[in-house]
A = this chain, B = another copy of it.
């Protein structure tokens, strides 16, 4: 019988190091990214994290659960669907993910043929980009959408949005890679900002 190992740690009395003890391992923050948009089942996560191996995904989910970032839930006994969801503490990580997304956006200029693509991956960096709009916005890119409080960069699914921002994936590319500006894209009608 294997009794959980002592967990690897940087062993530094520092908030950054402690944070990395929880979300610093390979794949962990990308799992948080996936769950930022709502609960997902194991298979969905595996599908939207191309390259992760099954055992690593299972291990990370267990660690995140032990650290109070993720919780495992089972829906209706009639149709027992198992999903993973962020806890409140886990949702507080979204601004960290968003800050990294904002920093990483310029790196999207280098588009590799072998890169995987999912539409919902655009949402967080776009939130950082339209931050000047203020308030709560609902962002829509192709089929995917999410609601973000632009001040705190928190994802707030239940809040009523002040505006709905619709962006085509192609334009999202241009914006994130810095090949066009938000003002230009709005002027050209490629980004539609509609007050609710």
Contact = CB atoms under 8 A, between A and B. Distances in A.
Interface of A: 10-24, 26, 29-30, 33, 50-51, 92-93, 95-97, 99-105, 107-108, 111-112, 114-118, 121-122, 124-125, 176
B13 A101 contact: no
Contacts of A114: 11
The CB with the most chain B CB atoms within 10 A, among A16, A99, A121, is that of A16
Contacts of A124: 15-16
A13 B104 contact: no
Copies of this chain, count = 2
B121 A14 contact: yes
The CB with the most chain B CB atoms within 10 A, among A93, A95, A103, A112, is that of A103
Nearest to A129: B15
A101 B11 contact: no
A101 to B, nearest CB: 4
